[in-house]
């Protein structure tokens, strides 16, 4: 995970988890797309710029955080080439990378402890895409 450039964004519900992730992985180059506090904000304002930066190749992967992770996943997945996966346990993160070549990890901050989130992140970023039969399926995702 150390050599990857990771974009990260969150709304007010995910702000504290976002900050804890950055502290837990000090050697990672994070591009922080906000938010920068716990005041109520609209998650699309932060996820759209993050997803665009990944599309442009400025970052390899992304982490998007909100209360349930549904909203941030929906926004990120509107962008061509972005495959955001809502992950609430390490096994889901493993399969999202291995079978779906997910490039954005969406985390539900209201339902995870910091330690659970770190385990999910570790699994996501240590799992490679398997390719093979899964590549044909991934190729069919774009409209």
From the candidates 87, 99, 134, 143, which is the catalytic residue?
99
**Structure tokens given for 131:** 């390719």
Known catalytic residue at 66: yes
Question: Which residue's entry shows tokens 């450039």?
Answer: 5
The 10 Å Cβ neighbour count of residue 142 is 8
**Structure tokens given for 50:** 């993050």
Q: Which residues, in sequence order, are bridge partners of residue 73? A: none
From the candidates 66, 94, 134, 143, which is the catalytic residue?
66
Known catalytic residue at 143: no
Q: Tell me if residue 100 falls in helix, strand or coil.
A: helix
As annotated, the active-site residues are 66, 99
């Amino acid at each position: 995970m150390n050599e990857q450039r990771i974009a990260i964004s969150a709304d007010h519900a995910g702000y504290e988890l976002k900050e804890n992730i950055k502290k837990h992985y000090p050697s990672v180059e994070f591009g922080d797309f906000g938010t920068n506090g716990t005041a109520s904000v609209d998650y699309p304002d932060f996820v759209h710029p993050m997803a665009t930066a990944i599309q442009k190749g400025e970052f390899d992967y992304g982490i998007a955080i909100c209360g349930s992770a549904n909203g941030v996943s929906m926004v990120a997945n509107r962008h061509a080439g972005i495959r955001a996966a809502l992950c609430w346990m390490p096994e889901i993160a493993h399969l999202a990378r291995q079978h779906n070549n997910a490039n954005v990890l969406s985390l539900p901050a209201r339902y995870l402890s910091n330690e659970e989130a770190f385990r999910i992140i570790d699994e996501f970023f240590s799992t490679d895409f398997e390719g093979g039969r899964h590549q044909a399926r991934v190729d069919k995702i774009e409209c």
